[in-house]
Amino acid sequence: MARRRLSDTSHPDTSLDDAYWLSFGDQPQPPMRDKIIYLTAEEVARVGPAVFNVASVSDRLGITHPMVNHYFGGRDALLAETAFVVYQRYIHSLWEAVAAAPAEPRARLRAWMMQQIEGTAKLGGWGGILNYPSSSMHVSGLLQENFGDKMRELFVSNTVRLGVLVEDLRAGEVTSFDGMDIEALRMRFLAQPESMARGGSVGLSTLGVAIWNAGQHLPTRGAPELDEHKDQLIASHVERVIDAALT
C-alpha cells in the first residue's frame, strides 16, 4: 500500500471556497499554513481550547494530521500562534471601528468601547487563553515565550492611542493616528499620571463589561432584568464612562 504524503487529501470541506477565505484577508486561496490558523481560530472560538481537536481542522482541509505538526510542531504550538493572530485581529478591529466612526471625539471613543465589547464576545473560546492564562497554562506559556514581546507592543500601542482618544474628548479635538510616534506618546503619558489614569479607567471599565457580556456568568444568566435590558445596560454604561472621562 502506498504511503500517504503529508499533503494527501481525502474529502475536504467544499464550503471552504474563495469567499470563505476572503473573510479572513485579501487572498482567495491563502497558503495552507494560514488556512490551518484561520480554521483553528474559528474552531476554538466555537468550542474552546480544551475541547479543540486538531483532527477537526485537518479533516476539513483534507490534509493529514502530521501536516499540522510539520507546520507548527504540535497542537499547543498551533494554539499559541493562532492566539497571537486572533489578538492581532482583535486590536486591529478596534481601530478600524474608530476610523469608520464620525470624526467627532465622543463618537470615536464610543466606537472603540463598543467594538471592544462586541469583539470580546466574538473571541468566544479564545477569551480563556487571552484573559485567563491559567486556564491553558502550557499554551499561554508558549504564547508568552514566542509572541510575548509582539503582544506587548500591540497592547502599548492600543493603550496609548486610547489615551489619545480620551484626551481628545476632553479637549474637543480629533487627532490623526497617521505617523504617530507611539513611544514618544507612551513617555508623555507616563509623565502625566492623570492622563494615564483616565485612559486606564476607560479601558478597564470597558473590559469588565466586555468580559461579562462575552462570558457565561452563572449568577446573572437567565435573570430577566438583565437578559431583557442587556443592550440598554451596556449602552448606558458606555455613556457613563465617557461622561466620567470628562470630569
Convert the pLDDT of each residue in 161-211 to its tens digit. 999 999 999 999 999 999 999 999 999 988 998 998 999 999 999 999 998
Better-scored residue on pLDDT, 9 or 176: 176
Look at residue 229 in the predicted model and tell me its pLDDT. Answer: 81
Note the Cα 219 to chain centre separation in Å.
26
Let me know: does 83 contact 129? Beta carbons within 8 Å.
Answer: yes
Per-residue pLDDT, 228? 75
Nearest residue to 76 via CA among 165, 137, 10 = 137
Burial 33-44 (b: 16+ CB within 10 A, else e): ebbbbbbbbbbb
pLDDT at 128: 83
Tell me, what's the pLDDT at 4?
42
- Is the pLDDT confidence value at 3 over 50? no
Mean pLDDT of the chain, nearest integer: 90
* Least confident residue range of 5-9, 132-136, 193-197: 5-9
Predicted pLDDT at 108: 98
Cell numbers 476572503: residue: 22
The tally of CA atoms less than 13 A away on the side-chain side of residue 172 is 0
What was the pLDDT predicted at 117? 96
DSSP class of residue 135 equals G
Average pLDDT over residues 72-93: 96
pTM (predicted TM-score): 0.88
Residues whose CB is less than 8 angstroms from the CB of residue 220 and which lie 6 or more positions away in sequence, other chains included: 212, 226
Each residue's pLDDT tens digit, 19-46: 999 999 999 999 999 999 999 999 999 9
| Predicted local distance difference test score (pLDDT) of residue 221 | 62
